[in-house]
Structure 1
């Protein structure tokens, strides 16, 4: 099994719902109110993973990304478009709108356990929760923004078993902080 990295925008109160405003929630767009230096380019420091790894996406996030990235031509977007993408969906069959995408055959956990490459999960709370439930997340790269959203889904749901992580790095990125936590 490859290394599994969860990436995500998180508000100061732990909310991950609608950071870009595309879901139309009342508080949506909270992550993008802090300027492009906070969210532009390789904000999660994926680096060479974009050339060698797999981006793991749920259907909703894939649909959003497929509308955003294919029409962009800057260096980061070009790498994003070339990156291998695995989509978790029981209903999708056509993923041609976003280059190098494939729908996962079988179960998510089966795919993750058999995939030798490093996988980065972007958005997709349902995918993250499924991986957390099976203890398959090796690393979190969380971009925390100085906004209190108040309501919405959190990165971490209730659990009966504590998970102990180690802070590997933290860096300021515009108004946000990017913290990397590892097992």
Structure 2
């Protein structure tokens, strides 16, 4: 079974909206589009993290597909990222689109979870999600994502669309790779590691103060 890999840029507070430019996605009154621009440097290997889709098939949400469709086919033919993305096979999750104009694009119809399960079971290269926050939310909740490439930029945005929201399935992750760019971007790769296993640093019996605090919590007065 082939893997499903998600790659995304996020701020320190987990915002993934419009990293590339002001007009990319200003929905919801988001005014910080292009927040990752000044942190780019030569140590960032976009291909290794799957951001160019090299040797993979793409799985995209509708909004990310439309952003890419309106940009990458119009870049110079010698642009290596454009060349790779334009040639890649693309699967698009959408309830509203009826036709896709970008070459090698296929619309995923019906339930997206079942569609991705079917794609993963087919022979072929690994599947790569780029951006596509709503799609990540759905597939993370269904435990279908096998690897996360998360590049965390040293900015706090305070508002915007988040990588993980209230629908996220609680789960543990294992860090398997990490590197820091010269501009302070932490480029990390995680894989799922099962359920969260809580514990406690508290030893011995709770004090009277602690028991009183817990009582206040139960009453809703803490």
Q: Which TM-score applies when normalising by structure 1?
A: 0.87
Q: Which runs of 5+ in 2 are unaligned?
A: 193-222
The change in CA–CA distance for 1:38 and 1:111 in structure 2 (over 3 A counts) is farther
Q: Which runs of 5+ in 1 are unaligned?
A: none
Is the radius of gyration larger for structure 1 or structure 2? 2
The change in CA–CA distance for 1:44 and 1:93 in structure 2 (over 3 A counts) is farther
Q: How far did 1:173 drift?
A: 3.7
2:173 to 143, 154, 165: 165
Aligned match of 1:109: 113
Q: How far did 1:79 drift?
A: 1.1
Q: How far did 1:149 drift?
A: 0.7
Q: Which TM-score applies when normalising by structure 2?
A: 0.73
Q: How far did 1:156 drift?
A: 1.3
Match of 1:109, SS state, is helix
The change in CA–CA distance for 1:108 and 1:174 in structure 2 (over 3 A counts) is farther
Task: Give the whole-Å Cα distance in 1 for the aligned partners of 2:48 and 2:32.
Answer: 23
Larger RCO (CA within 8 A; separation ≥ 6): 1
1:62 to 57, 62, 65: 65
More strand by share: 1
Contact residue 6 and residue 147 of structure 2 kept, 8 A: yes
Task: Give the whole-Å Cα distance in 2 for the aligned partners of 1:138 and 1:69.
Answer: 27
Aligned residues: 180
Q: Kindly indicate whether residue 152 of structure 2 is the aligned counterpart of residue 144 of structure 1.
A: yes
Aligned match of 1:46: 50
